[in-house]
Structure 1
Amino acid sequence: MGKAAALCGGGTRGLVSLLSAVPCLACHELPAMSADPGGRGGGGPAGGPPAAPPGSDTYKGWLFKWTNYLKGYQRRWFVLSNGLLSYYRTQAEMAHTCRGTINLSTAHIDTEDSCNIVLSNGGRTYHLKANSEVERQRWVTALELAKAKAIRMRNNQSDDSGDEEPASQSDKSELHGPLKTLSSKLEDLSTCNELIAKHGAALQRSLSELENLRLPADSGEKIKAVNERATLFRITSNAMINACRDFLDLAESHSRKWQRLLQHEREQRIRLEETIEQLAKQHNSLERACRGAPGLASGTATGSVQSAKGEASDEDEETEYFDAMEDAPAFITVTADPKGNHSFCDSNQSSYNESTGKDLLPRKRRRTRIPDKPNYSLNLWSIMKNCIGKELSKIPMPVNFNEPLSMLQRLTEDLEYHELLDKAVKCESSTEQMCFVAAFSVSSYSTTVHRTAKPFNPLLGETFELDRLEELGFRSLCEQVSHHPPAAAHHVYSRRGWTLWQEITIASKFRGKYLSIMPLGAIHLEFHSSGNHYVWRKVTSTVHNIIVGKLWIDQSGEIEIVNHKSKDKCQLKFTPYSYFSRDVPRKVTGVVSDADGKAHYVMSGTWDEKMECSKIIHSSHGSTSTEGKQKTVYQTLSPKVLWRKAGWL
């Protein structure tokens, strides 16, 4: 641009007459190429190609595309729009079939000879041929402009993705729309200038080569005249680009000033709206106060003004909003006595009478039980028919499916029977301690038998703390550490001699009739005095009758609890429910063995009621099962109840 400014000399006003005399080879608005049934390529009548409508970014026409060695170049209809070059066999195919598309924002444009164009984008390459050099030049100009615009749009989108402005959509368009349009037009002109400079230089090189050839004298004069015209055209185009850039700089400076003024006006409007809203609330309070004591005008006015001032100051510090209710009592009640004493009280709170020492209004009564869940009928199949095979975190569940608590609080409920761990601390034998740990691992499922609702997904970084150090001796902290996939970290410290921590990541699949939830994290438990470190994982939870019938939950799978210090193990098996089975529903069985594999205790019970342990005094091999495994028969003492669900008889 600096060279162009030097060539044009003292400015652009003296070139106005030249602009009308120089023919335009590459204008800003692209010409629209129409169909050519004669096979001569894209073009219009003899006077030139028809001009595109204002603001048109589409370029169409016929080109020859290399297909293969057998067919060679084949005639195809090409459409350039929004930075994409697509081609079809005929114009009629544009409505239903596209043979191929190439993105120009990352494409490389090259010219092989006077009529050929090569487009390459990654592993895709188009070899195109035009009917003439002029037609090839029109396509190259259109492709270069479309490529520059596509790159600019991609950069703008990446810049806008990180910007968060408080202004509304209309304000954004009002402020940035014209400026972006002007910038786009100027960049188009800059691209045209680069193309003109490149092609002008090539033209001058060709003319210089022609001058060096041995040609007749009249031919040399004509070539020299053409060279001078080309130089004059290049100077004129550079001057035009400089003038447009000056215009855009002026528009940008004024746009910034307008933006500051508009931002100031917007802030003034917001402050004015807040002031009017505050005045309206004060006026509403005054009206209610006047209706409360119509006979005492002076006292009411004084009290109302005080109330209004007090409300205004409270709203400046902290504002509380409540849902409106029908047939609600008055928001403010003003009572006045002959001495001019006024008392303002909320109708929902109690009022105390000093003379009688009694409450005028009853105090609040807190609820003793949680209300029943409302039963709304839902067509679940219409919601979940397209979710088969997806994970639970990807399924849009209705809010009726949720419990009014977070998943972090649901994880903390595993500590409901923490007294099992307090008892395990006092055990001298590691195998006996393993029995209490196994009972604790089963007790975490006791509340799931009738709870078919899903907890709410926590926000990333959300925490839930349960501090019961004074009453129960432990403190729990749970935090959501990942959003996708959802993962939570849980840590519990007990001053009674144990520490528990776990990381929970849930994988789930919807199978149509049932929903499977697979916890993937591990649970760690360590006792301070003995140093025993236990690790285990949760079993799979299955929600049945998702579509038809009453929802019910079943736990199935195996839990292996390992003591990493003594190498003791406990194998717990959660038997899945079967309509044809004679076993007790929700049955859990297991065996506690030491590091040598010798069994010491047998665990039995159900995951929703109780767990018992029986000490083994003798073991023997029994008959062979249908699966080919040899059964082991244990002779035990009478069972001892380790855990029983609260409220179960």
Structure 2
Amino acid sequence: MSQKISSPSHSNSSSSSKHDSRQDSWEIIEGLRGGLSNVQEPENQAGYMLKKRKWPMKGWHKRFFYLDKGILKYAKCAADVEKGKLHGCIDVGLSVMAIKKKAKCIDLDAEENIYHLKIKSQELFDEWVSKLRHHRLYRQNEIAMFPHEKTLFHPHYPLTSSPTIPDSQSIRKRASLAKQSSFHSPVSFTSQAKVTAWLQSSDDMDRCTKELSVCEAQLLELNHLLRSMEVLHRTYSAPAINALQVPSCISAGSIRLHASNPNLSSVDLTNEKTYHETLDSPIDVSKLQEDFCRIVSHKSFHSTMKSALCMLTTEKERLKQMLEHDSCPAPSAQLMGLKNALASQDSCDGSRPLVHQASNESRASITESLSEFFDAQEVLLSASSSENEPSEDDSYISDISDNMSMENFSNEVENERLNTGCVENGGSQEQRRCCLPSPSPNTSNISLWNILKNNIGKDLSKVAMPVQLNEPLNTLQRLCEELEYSELLDKAAHTQDPFERMVYIATFAVSGYASSYYRAGGKPFNPVLGETYECDRPDKGFCFVAEQVSHHPPISACHAESKNFIFWQDVRWRNKFWGKSMEIVPVGKTHVVLPGFGDHYEWNKVTSCIHNILSGQRWIEHYGEISIKNSNSEKCQCKVTFIKAKYWSSSMNEVEGAVTDHKGKVVHKLFGKWHEGMYYGSPPSATCIWRMNPMPPDYEQYYGFTKFALELNELDPLTKALLPPTDSRLRLDQRLLEEGNVESAEVQKQRIEQLQRERRRVLEDNHMTHQPRFFQKSRDDTWVSNNTYWELRKDPGFSNFDCPVLW
């Protein structure tokens, strides 16, 4: 019997299309709703999945995952998980989870890291998604109920008892008692749950306690040695002290006379008699000196202190954020108990004079600057005593100290001279503004989640954002900001050695990221198609021009020239939101030519990631590898690595690099922090070649702009008369935001975006494409200057030039 098969109706086809669309897009997995619920304990799940790595070893790598009560652990194989050799551990309950069904991908945004997972089998994918949903709800419910001693990580660190270091267990016990008294009140999955999660990371705080105990023991030993040397210094004649030999364990470059640290140079002499009796000959001084140098120079001494400080700073900031963002109308007994517990521990601070208090100015400010770190590696020889004049026997140590001091001094003078932008031939620097007309607006009333929740995994450059989230600069001006430290290129142009030239080029590539350190809170305006920007800086010796040459995809091209260098790049960005973090992946190359040597350098940019994007405490990091090569010579090349921060590591914002010859042999080493400075050589004798300029006053209130950024959108009448009407400084919405008129800026922003859509529609209707005016495509599909901008500006002038109406 034949059966008639009807063709699918239009509605069915449409429904299928919508279903396919949903399969092709990211879906956010909802979490616990409505507070506590009875979630059954889930079964464990284990198996292999593919995990994506971006750097190093890019691509998908097979890893074994083990899911237990909301905690997802992974390692290379099952045996490694059993042995505790974990590659990572993810709290699924505190992560944003998104899935893409068609691609069989699972993304977990744990704020500090974004985990991209993939499963080949559809059956296994569905099984893992189901298990992760169940475990996530269970974990969130567990956090909301504040269970006893449920820890996220399980490393077993032996604790060293110390009467002066606060015990994390005592804090947890007091908070637990407070919890029992507050159990009758309803608990929602808000900041209280986050505080609970913080308390549950007990082993991490125990590890911090252990490391602080080690630090305290070492500092006390150093203090004991200093007191002993002070006693001997007062007891015996100065020549006996000054005749000591420099221990072989310390290089000559690290010996400096310095008494800048009052905690170490001030000595308690109450037990002077005891020390005098135990040390009866001047020979003991040399032994004391050796012991002191051995402790100070040991790598574990600094690494332990840095690690402990990193932990304290991170935990303090995490707790601060949790308490600040408490959505409850009144503090619960649970939170009050925690605050009281912490307050009682603070009262013990007086008995711990040698333990530094962590700075809370910024999450990323974990350690002191590198220059201060090197200054700490010094031998203190009772320099505070003014009674003993230096004898001829002091000459060896004094010469070393003077040489290093003069080297640093001359380096600082050079940096200061370059940073002031001195103009050759006696020219005077133009007076520029030092403040914006209005501070940045309040953005606390904007719900970013409502804007971004439907755009997981998508390119955010196509998503309309409220103008309050912008800063009064656009992407073209951001490209110009990379030339803030153009004096490094000038220095390279006057350096004969090709390997040292590469050092300056690499440092310049790093310096372009420095201004982003204080700018994680805002985004630049997106330039409209055909928008331009010029920056003529005779004080810095360069002139810069940029143009938005493409809208889909958005591509910005720029070109700068001086008598020493030529700089150009075309950059396109892919912005992706993963639930808590936003990744910015640049595509394109940066080029620098030094005409004096015929060098043509080119390099890539690294990935940037803005973390904690949904709260007020956003922070940015850059990670990946910059590869710099000279296309006109194979004599040398350079690789610079931006180290991705690890949660319990002090490697925040750290950069390492190496200049190698054509055989791959390292000629120069580079290291530093992209927001502080760069050094080359080997510590402690490394030379500082760049430091970030000091920030202007009240920079936090003015978008975190550097002094150079403050000047980029400045518009004086003389300059205005020379600009084309397409210049960014004439853009109304950006100017109104800078002046603090947010409502009018939003109206103008929408109007300008609508004008762009209309121009694009006209081009499409007439089968035309936009042709940039000042840039052209080269053979390798990159955009380069056609060298007409400055000529047209001069003659006939842009007032006599036919320009499109962009706003």
TM class by shorter chain equals: 0.3 to 0.5
Structure 1 or 2, whichever has the larger Rg, is 1
Normalised by the length of structure 2, the TM-score is 0.33
